[in-house]
Amino acid sequence: MRLTAEQQAMAAGSAGEAAAQAIAMLLAVGKAVEAERLIPVVSAHIVIDAVTLGEPGLRQVESLARAGGRFVVPTTINAVACDRRADPATYSGMARRQHEVLQAGIAMGGLATCSCNPIGQGVLPSFGQSVAWSESGTAPYVNGVLGARSNREGATSLASALTGLTPDYGMHRPESRRGDGLIDIAASVSGVDGFGLLGLHVARRWPGRIPVLRGLPPPQLDEWIAFASSFAIAGAAPMFHAIGLTPEAPSLAAAFPDGAPSPERVTDEDLRAERGRLESETGETIDMVVLGCPHASLQQLAEAARRFDGRRVKAGIDCVLHTSQGAYALAQAAGHVAALTQAGARLTVGEMCYGCDFRDSRFPDGARVATNSGKLLFVAPGSQGARLRLADAAACIEAAVSGRLARYNR
């Protein structure tokens, strides 16, 4: 790889031991993918949770902090394995260990956003800018919706945070971002649940391809995030286009400068079949309602509070909303947290969730769960033996109140 003089000096230790280790990691990756150079990133999103990293990974984060590592670009931190509202003095076991490593991340300059929904945290790149974001669901949003550039990063995002650099390959290269297949959306798609289901279906049916969607109804922000996170969890592609909606596909001709291929189609029947394939529960009785995977936004918390409308969660039902500290603080100021708590709902803040196999948040054996999250529908049955059904937020709240989830009629 060709390095600038400054990068060579960094590799030789001019910016300290941690930066030298980080650039060595980036060079190793760059060589493996045959990148020719390192390019700057404007931000990083890092995963330093105690579940994903395991003890060796946690020790590495601490060792980089001890070696004087400092993040040189704005760096947000993913959801962690401890309740961010709790007094750290009360932590034990994994939560205590997580707290220690989080402190190392903060000492290096990490922003303790503690959310798997970094899009909602406000540190966003502009069109064409490169970033190094981990958490699988973020890359399709960064690339597709924003027109910024990120590969699906892992530990390399930490190295990018310490150096402000990433190897120039994959999504950072214009030639890698072209659409691969035209898909007409002939289904009616709406809501976080509907866009999540569509993301799962497209990723499964056209694996690894960068799909170009035509006819997609304009999604709201939470719907985009639901689509991107589901699309990412069910497949390996880091990007999609939507004609007339995403910045690199303003028209069919722009998406396919050499001529559009014959379209394939997604119909309502396809999505009904996808739902049937993924749902692991068919009965109406439920034990739990889980909203907020990825972490619920202020708007989602407000909607849930409004839908309770003074009613309470039925005795014996566990109704959980996962959210970030930022959304929680805003919802608290607006009175939504009080409304949800008075309704008997439970909020987790900054924490990993039931989809993460996070020990403290495992589903009870055989729990019958209603959720509006396509991502959770995809990951939870396989990893935890829970029995899930997908429904929109309104139906989920009704289920929390009544204990029953009517058959989905879309």
How far is 95 from 86, CA to CA, in rounded Å?
10
Q: Is 134 left (phi over 0), alpha (psi -120 to 50) or beta?
A: beta
390 binds ligand F3S (CB under 6 A): no
Q: Which of 74, 238, 355, 381 binds ligand F3S (CB under 6 A)?
A: 355
Binding mask 313-342 for ligand F3S (x = CB under 6 A): ---------x--------------------
Q: Which of 170, 199, 235, 294 binds ligand F3S (CB under 6 A)?
A: 294
The interaxial angle of helices 393-402 and 191-205, nearest 10 deg, is: 120
DSSP symbol at 362: P
Which residue's entry shows tokens 């803040």? Answer: 349
E strand or H helix at 89, and its extent? none
CB of 379 to ligand F3S, least distance (A): 6
Between strands 241-242 and 318-323, the pairing is: unpaired
Our CB check for ligand F3S shows the closer of 81 and 405 to be 81
235 binds ligand F3S (CB under 6 A): no
Q: Footprint of ligand F3S on residues 74-133 (CB under 6 A)?
A: 79, 116
Contact 297, 329 (CB under 8 A): no
Residue 140 contacts by C-beta under 8 Å, 6 or more apart in sequence?
A: 227, 228, 229, 231, 232, 237, 238, 239, 240
CB of 224 to ligand F3S, least distance (A): 14
Beta bridge partners of 349: 323
CB of 260 to ligand F3S, least distance (A): 34
Length of the chain, in residues: 410
CB of 195 to ligand F3S, least distance (A): 15
Position with the least CB separation from ligand F3S = 355
Query: Among the candidate windows 61-69, 81-89, 352-360, 364-372, which touches ligand F3S by CB under 6 A?
Result: 352-360
Secondary structure of 198-242 in HEC code, one letter for each residue: HHHHHHHHCCCCCCEEECCCCCCHHHHHHHHHHHHHCCCCCCCEE
Of residues 61, 192, 210, 60, the one with CA closest to residue 140? 210
Q: Footprint of ligand F3S on residues 359-388 (CB under 6 A)?
A: 375
Our CB check for ligand F3S shows the closer of 19 and 320 to be 320
How far is 313 from 184, CA to CA, in rounded Å?
40
Contact 324, 45 (CB under 8 A): no
CB of 87 to ligand F3S, least distance (A): 22
Phi, psi of 323 (to 5 degrees): -150, 175
Which residue's entry shows tokens 């995030």? Answer: 225
CB of 239 to ligand F3S, least distance (A): 19
Q: Which of 29, 101, 187, 356 binds ligand F3S (CB under 6 A)?
A: 356
Our CB check for ligand F3S shows the closer of 82 and 255 to be 82
CB of 351 to ligand F3S, least distance (A): 8
Percent helix, strand and coil across the chain, each to the nearest 5: 45, 15, 40
By CB under 6 A, how many residues form the interface with ligand F3S? 12
| 44-46: strand order across its sheet | 75-77, 44-46, 132-133
CB of 18 to ligand F3S, least distance (A): 27
Query: Among the candidate windows 146-154, 272-280, 302-310, 351-359, which touches ligand F3S by CB under 6 A?
Result: 351-359
Q: Which of 61, 102, 139, 353 binds ligand F3S (CB under 6 A)?
A: 353
18 binds ligand F3S (CB under 6 A): no
Our CB check for ligand F3S shows the closer of 214 and 322 to be 322
Residues of this chain that interact with ligand F3S (CB under 6 A) are 79, 116, 229, 293-295, 322, 352-353, 355-356, 375
